[in-house]
Each structure stands twice: as C-alpha cells, then as structure tokens.
Amino acid sequence: MIIVFGSINIDVIGHAPRLMRPGETVLGTTLEFSPGGKGANQALAASRAGGEVRMVGCVGDDDFANRALALLSEAEIDLSGVRRMDKHTGTALIVVDDAGENMITVLPGANARLTGAALEQGGIGGDDILLLQLEVPLQSSLTAARVARRNGARVMLNLAPYMDFPPELLETITHLVVNETELAGLLEIIDAPERDQVEAVKWLAERYGLTVIATLGPKGAVAVSGDETASVAGLRITPVDTVGAGDTFVGYFATGLAEGLSLADALSLANTAAATACLKPGAQPSIPERADLPAAR
C-alpha cells in the first residue's frame, strides 16, 4: 500500500493574462475552487495510476473540508487516517497566467496539526511505501519517516514546496524526488560541489545512499539508484496549466515502484502522466487515469 502523509487543501484558483510583480495589481478573468494539497494530489495520482492508497492528514471542521476530500472519496482512497480539526481547511491561493505558469501561496490551516502519531495509530509495514512532502510540519514528517523505516517500509520524500529542512531528514528516507529549483536549493544547503544537474543527482544518490529522481521540465527527468541511471526526454506539449504536474509525477512514480516496475519504466510512466496533467486546468481534476495515458503502461 502507498500511505500518503501530507497536506489536504482547497485550491482557490484565479486566472489572469500574466503573473503579477511585487506591488502590482493585475486584472484577472475567472475564479474557481478545486481540491488540492500536495499530499492529497499525490494520493489521488497514485490511486489513478492503479495503486492502493491510504491518506493520513487533517482537514478543518468547515465547508471546505468536504470539497477537499471529494475526489479522494470518489476514488475510494482509504480516508480512515484523516482527522477533522478546529482550524480552517488548508487553502492554496493560486494565480495562473495565459502561458500556464503559476504563483501559489499556501495557508496551512489544519495541516499544521498533523503529527507523526497519526501514522503510528494507522500502522505501516514492510510492504508499504510512505510518501512525504513539505506542506505539513517538518518534525511530523521526520517522525513519520522514522516510524516507517523502523517498520521496514520504503520512504519517498518529495522536497516540495522547497524550504530549509533538517539534513537528518535525508538519512531517514529511501527515495528523493526534486524538480530543478528544489535540486538547486538542496545542493546549496548541503554545500555540494558544483556539477551539472545529472551529475548532481548521481552525487546525491551516492552520498546519501538514496534513489534520487529529478524532474527537469521540458528536458524530461532523470533517476539514479546505485549504479543504475535512467532518463526520459520531455514530451512535446502546449501546457494549459502546470499546477499539479509535479504531484502527478510523484504519485505515478510511487505506484510504479509499488508494482515493481524497473527504474526506467517507472520514470517513463511518471513523466508521461505529468505531461498529460498539464493539458487540463486544476490540480486534482487534471490528474489522468492510467488507461488514458498516451502509450499507457
């Protein structure tokens, strides 16, 4: 089973011709509400990829909570690990421009109440994969990772949204997923020697004994595990909205890992799903079903 320990949000999405600069007001066009949160997005992606998924997280005791959980419930994801708290449901304020690029501000709300004890209560075993992001308290994620490793589970950390984090977190995981920005930030925080992106991924994998996966936008993605390196080229698409593409990649890759796919096949599957997610607006609504992927595996 894939157990996602992370955030559950409602996304408030505004569309505008272009993104604003600091201090600038830009007149937009439309407004919509969509379930989101990196944890919930990745849980839904893993489920739509065909994985068995349990979500561990927190929502508020408010109207947004039901909206935030709607698609997870429809996908029959196990929500027994989701708790209701006396704070607002996490909210992401998103502006998307005509080119599909976005700016996001996240207000954590109930997500800030998630603790590692929630994972201990739900249980995790050696056949499970724990999926983590950085939209819930760092200490809670660190505790959850330790619990999972103690019980023999694999732990995949998506270092997003990027922020300073305790380096010991890297010592409690087995898989690390980063994009270009997160890779650069990570290399800076650990004072790594200068290398190109692929060599940097190899260096990280060797130094920390991890499987490291880096998404490189239009350039595709690369993954390194021990002596094995796999890479895929970016798909040629005209993006409508890039919100949720990274989470789609992570959820699909986790399912590929759970199914025992090779590193190259899991990478290809995730890369294709992420590109497909860019062709529709919204975070969760854009996540494709596996059967709908081009050359679906």
Q: Which residues are catalytic?
A: 247
d(CA 116, CA 87): 18
d(CA 159, CA 226): 20
Joined tokens for residue 246: 């990274």
Cα 166 → chain centroid: 19
d(CA 80, CA 125): 17
Amino acid making up residue 246: G
Helices (H) and strands (E) in the chain, counts: 8, 13
DSSP 17: S
CB neighbours (10 Å) of residue 24? 8
Token pair 């650990």 in the structure block, residue: 190
Closest CA to 188 of 200, 173, 177, 198: 200
d(CA 172, CA 247): 21
Are 11 and 62 in contact, with CB atoms under 8 Å apart?
no
Which neighbouring-strand residues pair with 83?
A: 58
d(CA 94, CA 34): 10
Closest CA to 255 of 242, 243, 269: 269
Q: Which residues contact 150 (CB under 8 A, 6 or more apart)?
A: none
Element (H, E) at 206: helix 197-208
